[in-house]
Each structure stands twice: as structure tokens, then as C-alpha cells.
Structure 1
Amino acid sequence: MPFATSRKAIASAALIMLAASSSGASAQKKYDTGATDSEIKIGNIMPYSGPASAYGVIGKTEAAYFKKINDAGGINGRKINFISYDDGYSPPKTVEQARKLVESDEVLFIFNPLGTPPNSAIHKYMNSKKVPQLFVATGAAKWNDPKDFPWTMGWQPNYQSEARIYAKYILKEKPNGKIAVLYQNDDYGKDYLKGLKDGLGAKAASMITAEESYETTEPTVDDHIVKLKSTGADIFVDITTPKFAAQAIRKVAETEWKPLHFLNNVSASVGSVLKPAGYENGQGIISAAYLKDPSEPQWDNDSGMKRFLEFLAKDYPEGNKLDQSTVVGYGVAQTLVQVLKQCGDDLTRENVMKQAANLKDFRTEVLLPGIVINTSATDFAPISQLQLMKFEGEKWKLFGDVVSGEVGG
């Protein structure tokens, strides 16, 4: 009898352990719509057509990088199903594509949708649906608002920070200069303009002699450049997207205006802006960077750059190493892979945002030395440092130290 009792006890103990382990296993794996044991479904919206189509390269690079990850076994055994749609940089179309991704395709989240006006159009929708709008491809300051918009996070340095860095340089090098500003008439352009004025402080009113805004529907910005030149300004702050940046650089040269020219980082691509504009027309332009430039010989022996170039050769042969958008796509895709690795088997939307807000001194292979990615529950701005650079010959040359454009930074 004692033997039978002990056998029963052992059997029941084994059953209890089995139940505990199986419930533990099920407790470990948590999924929201868009995630399973074998797949992570991710949505994306890019301007593959329209006035900002130069940025479509970012989405193509991400698709190639995720394919590379899938070919190597995926993330924690799950393959990425990357669904990317074109919105033509048109906010109404962005809304349509976001609804399709969330309500029809049932993605886990939308990753790296591009543009300030397009993301502004889906900002409230994504947060009301509690679907992550993760690592948006725009530097507007409003993406860092975890209190009011806990489901939206930026990635790149914000536009106001970058413009404050230009303002610091102007105040140091040309404190008596007269500034002419060309900016896109939307949240993106106005964010840069605000950062510039904040950075100039009390001197903004006297130093900024002209502000010209343009619409993305305009065929060229040539007339705006002619008007700005006529003001006699000796500093030109150029807040334009690639197509218009190339036009502005060409027109400044044609009119023989020779201001100190600042070009925002979003249009600092050698391949899609400086080369089409004519290298000879871009000499001396100042911008700011947070990513390595593959054309720069100083990275020839850099292990991260070698891996990036291997990726281009093997996984994305049509990618142009001179196009900075390729570097951006690679860097932000690597950041997402890190977030998904940290998620483990808890692939809920809530945990995706929790892990995105828990990046500690993370570095992609293409960030400049000294620049790291840090986030927290109260800080949704992953990258806040940049380094100034000047265009010389056919390349950007970095100068000065890595600087923060944060207020008081």
C-alpha cells in the first residue's frame, strides 16, 4: 500500500510538473495580431512615387535587410513578413495605406513610415488603435511625446536639434551675418525653422532677413532662390527634400550667389542630391551627420562599414553606396532587429514599445563613432547627437566634435 501511494504521489507530482511546465511555456509566448510562432508581420509606408520618391530607397534597403535576416533563420526562429506600400508622400494616401496595413493585413506594427506630413496624418489613428508607429522616418520633435502619444517613436536626430547646431555655428563664425531661409511649408520645414530661431535666440529677429516657403507641388524652387538672393543675405539655410535641394544648389550657383550654405541632413545624400546638382556647385556646403559615409576613405578598414558593403554586394546589389538613404535603411533596420530580439517570445504591441524604449548604448554598424542610441519610458528620441561636415570635392568631410543639439546641450 505505501508503495502504491508513493507511485500515485509520484504520478500526480509528475502531472503537476507537466501542467506547470506547459502553462509556463504558454505564459512565455505572448502574441498580438501579426505575430505567431513562425512569423512577425510588419507594415511600412514609403514614397516610392511623388515629390519625395528619392527616399523610396530606404524601404527597398529594409526589405533586402529583412530578407537577409530571414535567410539566416529569422529572429528567435520567426521570419519577418515585411509589407511595404507606396503613399506618394500624400497624407490622404498614407491614411488609406495605414488602415489597410492595420485592419486588412493585420500587421503587428508599422515601422519607419516616411515623412512628417504623412506621419502627422496617421499619428492619432495609430495611437487610438494602440498599434506602434515605430521609428518614424522623420525628425519632427513631436515624435518624442511618450506621455500623449505612447505608440509613436522617432529614430533619427530631430530637426530642431539639428538646426540649433547650425545656429551655434553661425553665432560663433558669422555673428553679424544676414540669413535667408528656404523651407518646405509643412511641419517638417517649420520644425527646422523653429530650431534655427531658438538656437539664434535674441539675435534671430535681426539676423534672419528673409524666409521663403515652398509647396511640394511646385515644379521648382528657382524663383524662391532668386528672391532670397536679392535680399543680400550672406548665409543660406536650405530646408528642402532631395529633389528641391538639388534644384536649390544648382540655382544658387547659376545666380552666382555665394552665401555660407547650410543644407539639412535629410538632403545630404551625395548620390541623390549633390551628384545631380553638380559636385562643382556643392563646394563648401555645410550639413550635419550621424551616420558614416561609405564613400569616405576613413571607413575603409572599419568593420561595420565592411559588413554594410558586404550586405550591398550580396543582398542588395542594386543599392547605391553613395545614396545616404541606403545607409539610413540599413541602420534603422538593424535597430528594429535589436528591439525584436529583446522582445523574445513576448510579441505583443505593448512589449514592442516597451523594448523600443529600453535601448541602452546600442550602436548600429553605420553610426558615427561617439554616437549611441538610448531610449527610456520618458525619452522617445533614440539619436540626439550629430557632427558637422563640409562638402569638398565629391565627398563630405567631418569636422569638429560630436555635438548635441538638445536645449542646453
Structure 2
Amino acid sequence: MRAGVVPLARCLAASLVLLASGCRPASSEVTLTGDCAGQVGTGITAESVRVGGIYPLSGPASAYATVAQGARAYFDHVNARGGVEGRRIEFLVRDDAYQPARAVEEARRLVLHDRVFALFQTLGTPSTAAVREYADRWRVPQVFVATGATQWGSDTRRPWTIGFQPSYVAEARVYARYLAKARPEARVAVLYQNDDFGHDLLDGFRQAIAGTSVRLVAALSYEVTDPSVQGQLANLAASRADVLLNVSTPKFAAQALATDAAMTGWNPLHIVNGVAASPAVLKPVGYDKVQGIVTAGFQKEPGAPDWADDPGMHTYLAALARHAPEADPAGQQVVFGWTAAQAFVKVLERMRCPSREAMRAAMRSLSDVELDLLLPGITLSTGPDDGFPIESMQLTRLEGNRWVRFGKVIDTRAEFGPVPPQDHP
């Protein structure tokens, strides 16, 4: 036990009160005493902690459903070892089909009916933004959301929600720095999703190339309900840009890569944003057609020679085979779910009380926390006014069917300063 941390059992009252919800018993509630008195212990007992996740298991962003596979595999792995201080993690997954209104309904169901302790990893910027208002109103932790929009880290008015992955602005900074050094006269065309995800990365890129010779010559958006982006690619090709920055979710990223590969007379350097740089995107297009594309990452790649003797990778592969044999271990979305779940457990271990308030405090006071599948030199750090746990990335280039790292890990905060709030139209 770490010095200065109150054992959670000391804060538990002798009795637990079962609350009915609908026709079946709800999660037990803990009455907290001592240093924890007055805090909320809904969804956590001495034996279990109930957690809810909202993912697009269906719909246009269903490729992200594999994130839930990785998260569940890690929680099952922890449960098989006895849980967190004896508590088993009950992970309830709900499908919002990438629809914000449905995400809010699922959040209500998880909080009021299932009585979860916390929401973990709501996925996608529109859904997460919709749920955030609800989580803030009910004072429920919304932990390590699966989206890099800057608002999760910069909006201190809503401390119950926190991001996880590098912000889209931080990622854009990495690409801008790379081009400014490797291709200082680059002419860049951008394909982007018309929401905060796309606008954050596009605006962050604009800000980061200011003062350099890199030029943004064209930018076209698409809607998540569009059938394809072939028309946008044809128009971007007319710009004669020599770099294409592909800011899209997996379905549309695959379309853009395939369309780019099939074009004649236009052969830009293709940079694909990290959320779409997975085998699920690249395999259908054909690895032979996407050689040399560039992305930025922060996680280790399963199967890469660099990690052949890595203990954390061995644990991941063995646990995935045992608990989620249907999952593709090479999928970066699976790795992402596993890594975020490990971070969630680190927060549970650091709580001073078994309460929602204690989780909020713990997730906002991390200091250089190491996770098994983060790249060397990348750790988690947060503060009361800093909701960006990861701010470092490393560039990688596709060679064969592997992402090969090049250059050094880039600490975007050290090189560019804090990420400012983004004001989109």
C-alpha cells in the first residue's frame, strides 16, 4: 500500500443497501464513513465495481467495436488475478451506433438502471460530448474517453470527464513538425470528418504550420452519413498537393486509401491519422498499395520485432488468447482498449476512498504512470487543470505489413506549449 493512502476497506460502512431498479436488484451502494463520509459510493462494494462503456457496436463507425474487445480482455485478465484490491470489475457494454442521442439514452440506462460506478471510454467525439453533459449533471466520472478532441483536456468546468489518447491537436503538431523538417515546401491537401474530430486536427495543423513554408492548399470535409469520399478525393487531387493528410474514421480512411492508390497522375505522401491506422483499414485496401504511408502512434505494435521479448506484450497476447480469442491481437484498436483499461485500473488503485469523488481526484493527479503497451518514453500525467494524459507521439512508416518507427518520441507540450481550447464554427 502506498504511503498516505487510506485503505478502501476502512471507509466501508458495515451495511450495504440494495436499491431496486425496475424488476431486478440494482448494484449495491456503499455508505461511506470516516475520511470518506459524504462521498458517493454507488456501484462499488467490497467485492465488485460496476463500470459502463458505450461503443458503436453497429453503424458507420462499427470498426471501433474492437476497442471494447481489448478493454474487456484486460478487465477479465485483472479479475482472473483477483480483481482490484479484491474487487471484480463488472464491465457493461452498450451500443450507441455512433448516434449521440442514443449514447445519452445508454448513459442514462447505465447510471440509473445498472447503477454503474463510472462511465469508461464513451467512444467518438459527438457521442462523448452528448454524454458529458449528463455525466457532469449526475457527477459520474467519465473516464478516459476514446476520442482526442481537445475539449476533454482543456475544459476545466467539467472535471468529471477526462481524455486519454493524445489530442488531435497534438497529433496534428507531430505531422506539421515532420513536414516542416522533411518537406519544408510541402503543399498539403486535407480530407477531414465534419465534426470536432476533423476540425480539431485540421485547425491544429493550420496553427502548427504557421511561420513555416508548408502550405495548406485544399481541405474538403465529409459527413459520417456519406456513402463514400471518392468525390472529395478527386477534387483534392486537382489541387496537385504533394501531401494528403487523411483525417477520417476507419470506413472512410479505407475508401480514401483505396481511391488514392487507384489514381494515376497523383502520388502524394499519404499521412493517415492514428485512429484509422489499423490492419482493419489497411488489409482490405491491400498492404502492397499503401506502402510508405505515415502516421503517428503512442502504442507498441503487436508482432513487431521490437517487442518480441517484451513482458507486457507477452501478457497482452496470452490474455487476449484466453479472454478474447475472437479479437485480432494485431489490431491497434484492440491494443487501445487494453491500454485504456489498464490506465483505468491504475486510477482505481490510486483512489483514497471507494467513491466517485475519489476517482475524479485520482484520474486528475497522475504522475508519469507507465503502461505496458505504451511506447518507451511515453507515460500518463495529469493535473487538476490538465486533462491530457498523453501528449507524446512517435512517427511511423508502413513497411510491408508493419509500422516502423522513425525519429524520436515527440513531446508536443514541450515543443509547442499547452494545447489551447479550439473554437470551431
Q: Which moved more, 1:358-367 or 1:244-253?
A: 358-367
* Residues 338/22 of structure 1: CA separation in 2 closer, same or farther (3 Å cut): closer
Per-residue CA deviations over 1:266-299 (Å, capped at 9, x if unaligned) read 1111x21111111012111110010000121111
> Which of 148, 156, 181 does residue 139 from structure 1 map onto?
148
Q: Is the 8 A contact 2:71 2:339 kept in 1?
A: no
Instruction: State the TM-score, normalizing by the size of structure 1.
Output: 0.90
Q: Does 1:402 align with 2:409?
A: yes
- SS of equivalent residue, structure 1 residue 400: strand
Shift of 1:26: 4.6
Per-residue CA deviations over 1:283-336 (Å, capped at 9, x if unaligned) read 111100100001211110111111111112222221212210111011111111
User: Secondary structure of the equivalent of 1:401?
Assistant: strand
What's the RMSD between the two structures over aligned residues? 1.8
TM-score (norm 2): 0.87
Which residue of structure 2 aligns with residue 391 of structure 1?
398
Residues 385 and 404 in structure 1, CA contact (< 8 A), matched pair in contact too? yes
For residue 368 of structure 1, what is the aligned residue in structure 2?
A: 375
Bigger radius of gyration = 1
Partner residue of 1:88 out of 83, 97, 107: 97
Amino acid at match of 1:389: T
Give the superposition deviation at 1:136.
0.3
Gaps of 5+ in 1: 1-20
Q: Is the 8 A contact 1:146 1:152 kept in 2?
A: no
Amino acid at match of 1:96: E
Write the letter of the residue equivalent to 1:46: Y
Q: Is 1:207 aligned with 2:215? A: yes
CA spacing shift, 1:22–1:372, aligned 2, 3 Å: closer
Deviation at 1:72, TM superposition (A): 2.0
User: Is 1:43–2:52 an aligned residue pair?
Assistant: yes
Give the match for residue 222 of structure 1.
230
Of Structure 1 and Structure 2, the greater strand share is in 2
- State the one-letter code of the partner of 2:311: S
Report if aligned partners of 1:146, 1:377 keep a CA contact under 8 Å in 2.
Answer: no
- 1:349 aligned onto 2:349: no
Distance 2:158 2:402 in 1: 39
Structure 2 CA distance for partners of 1:22 and 1:61, relative to 1, 3 Å: closer
2:305 equivalent to 1:317: no
- Alignment of 1:241 onto 2:245: no
Tell me how far 1:372 sits from its aligned partner: 0.9
Q: Identify the residue that residue 127 of structure 1 maps to in structure 2.
A: 136
Alpha-carbon deviations, 1:133-169, whole Å to 9, x = none? 1100000111013521111100111000110110111
d(CA) in 1 for partners of 2:53 and 2:237?
Answer: 40
SS state at 1:77 partner: coil
Match of 1:5 in 2: none
| Secondary structure in 1 matching 2:407 | coil
Instruction: Tell me which residue corresponds to 2:4.
Output: none
- Equivalent position SS for 1:370: coil
Instruction: Look up the equivalent residue of 1:115 and give its one-letter code.
Output: G
AA in 1 matched with 2:371: T
Give 1:72's aligned residue: 81
Q: Contact 2:166–2:392 at 8 Å: present in 1 too?
A: yes
Kindly indicate which of the two structures has a greater share of residues assigned to helix. 1
**Residues 73 and 338 in structure 2, CA contact (< 8 A), matched pair in contact too:** no
Task: Give the aligned length.
Answer: 385
CA shift for structure 1 position 39: 1.8
Q: 2:292 is matched by which residue type in structure 1?
A: G
Q: What does residue 342 of structure 2 align with? A: 334
User: Counterpart of 2:46 in 1: which secondary structure?
Assistant: coil
Is the contact made by 2:49 and 2:87 (CA closer than 8 Å) also made in structure 1? yes
Moved more, 65-74 or 236-245: 65-74
Residue 253 in structure 1 maps to residue 261 in structure 2: yes
Q: Which residue of 1 aligns with 2:310?
A: 302
Query: Residue 299 of structure 2 aligns with which residue?
Result: 291
Match of 1:399, SS state, is strand
1:408 offset after TM fit, Å?
A: 2.3
TM-aligned CA deviation for residue 27 of structure 1? 2.5
Task: Summarize the alignment of residues 47-62 of structure 1 with structure 2, pairs less than 5 Å apart.
Answer: 47-62=56-71
Bigger shift: residues 273-282 or 313-322? 313-322
Q: What residue ranges of structure 2 are gaps of 5+ in the alignment?
A: 1-11, 15-31, 418-425
SS in 1 for 2:327: coil
Q: What is residue 17 of structure 2 aligned with on the other side?
A: none
